Amino acid sequence: MKRVLAVGVNTFRETIRDRILGVIILFALAMIVASLWLASISLGQENRMIKDFGLVAISLFGLIVAVFVAASLVRKEVEKRTVFIIFSKPVSRAEFIWGKFLGLAATMFTVLAGMTVFLFVLAWIVARSPSGSLLVAGLLIYLELLVVMAMTMLFSTMTSAILASVWGICVYAAGQLSHNVLSLSKLGHSGVAHAMSLAVFYLVPNLSAVDIRAAVVGEGAVSWTSLAAWCVYLLAYLVIALVIATLIFRRKEF
């Protein structure tokens, strides 16, 4: 465990100093501030527009961090041959994968926490009352992106960083649409289409199940029991993805 934490701390230091992260954070904050302009032309829906647009900005820019940084974490070490130095020490390949993931997870938490708190304060100023649901929505976005990160790292053990990033984005998009795909397939009469939809629904992480943006803007209620169950499901999915990534990485020859 100490070696995992050591790799994680080193990864956190490397990624948090990356200039790309700074640019992404600035863009995200700019988009959240831009929601103020949208709110000014929303005809009495200022608070709703700020929350909705702000959460979308956090999700999108968090996704950029998740896929592009996660895709290069392992590949960069392999291409630069620094894995030989790392594995010359008493660090196993499993500890390397888990340490890298935990380090990036800490970086992601720092980035998302900053953006979510900024949005929370912004919405508080406009609505003149705090919205705790925004903080919960930020935590759930973090959980979604952790799953995408784990899947992207899994892909990076099998292919290039660019392809791993593309597949990571595809997982995110499919995860947001999997429930809709299943619902639409029931309207048709094709057994093949329904079977394929079921496969997508069960194999792709159902990220939309923990999306509470509609409830945050007052368009629905949250079933906390169901939400908790889906959170456990996504955590299990994350662990399985990292275990598979570890098994694949163990078989690689450098």
Q: Find the mean pLDDT for residues 234-249.
A: 93
Residue type, 23: V
Q: Length of the chain, please?
A: 254
Instruction: State the average pLDDT over residues 127-153.
Output: 90
Task: For tokens 């912004």, name the residue.
Answer: 122
Arithmetic mean of pLDDT, 211-221: 79
Asked if 7 contacts 96 with a C-beta cutoff of 8 angstroms, the reply is: yes
> Is the CA virtual torsion 217, 108, 67, 227 positive or negative?
negative
- Give the pLDDT confidence of 63-75 residue by residue, as tens digits: 988 898 888 887 7
At residue 187, the pLDDT reads: 58
Residue 127 confidence (pLDDT) above 90: no
Q: Which two tokens stand for residue 24?
A: 């992404």
Task: Report the C-alpha gap between 248 and 165 in whole angstroms.
Answer: 18
User: Residue 130, SS3?
Assistant: coil
CA distance 32 to 161: 29
The residue with tokens 């790292």 is: 153
Instruction: For helices 224-250 and 132-156, give the axis angle rounded to 10 degrees.
Output: 20
- Which among 77, 100, 34 has a CA at the least distance from the CA of 254? 77
Cα–Cα distance measured from residue 164 to residue 151, given in angstroms and rounded to the nearest whole number: 9
- Helix H or strand E encompassing 62: helix 46-64
The three-class DSSP label of residue 95 is helix
185 pLDDT higher than 70: no
Residue 61's nearest CA partner among 33, 105, 25 is: 25
In 3D, which of 14, 27, 35 has the Cα closest to residue 61?
27
Helix H segments across the chain?
A: 2-16, 19-40, 46-64, 70-79, 83-87, 93-127, 132-156, 161-185, 191-203, 213-216, 224-250
Query: What's the pLDDT band for 120 if we cut at 50, 70, 90?
Result: confident
% the chain with pLDDT above 70: 78
pLDDT of residue 167: 92
- Is pLDDT at 116 greater than 60 in this prediction? yes
User: How many whole angstroms separate alpha carbon 228 and alpha carbon 158?
Assistant: 32
Task: Identify the top-confidence range among 157-171, 218-232, 233-247.
Answer: 233-247
